[in-house]
Structure 1
């Protein structure tokens, strides 16, 4: 099975991660309901200024479709930028699509 990725970079602006953890729960639920992959976790700056979310599955487009609305409706995330990777993340030759999802 080929591994694709959806990597989401965002601005957060707080050291209180409660709202982010709620978003992660909704992402996990959406991915499981659509059966399109796995939510792998986050990296968040120590000062809470920004972060990254990591999701993996066999089809980056299907995975993004499953989480798109959750990301759009998450008020705690701003300046959301998405990278869809159509192959292993450590392969520099895979096709990537990057775009801004919301300000």
Structure 2
């Protein structure tokens, strides 16, 4: 045996909200367009991307910790309204 596995390598990324590593396909890519954090569902928008679990908890953590400003290397507040609308909220 050569020690090789048949499983393909799966890229991992770190969630900017909870800081846990997950497979790239399990996370939502977010890009910065002007001063807005925009969800990139297809992963094709240009620019630096930040990855996030598509859960309200991780979105709230990222906003509270100012993780998007650090990830995109920009000063000042960013508009996350579009991102928060894209992530489904659990209804009681």
Question: What TM-score results when the alignment is normalised by the length of structure 2?
Answer: 0.34
Q: Relative contact order (C-alpha < 8 Å, sep 6+): which is higher?
A: 1
Question: Hey, which of these two has a bigger chunk of helix by percent?
Answer: 1
Considering only CA atoms, is the larger Rg found in Structure 1 or Structure 2? 2
Question: What TM-score results when the alignment is normalised by the length of structure 1?
Answer: 0.31
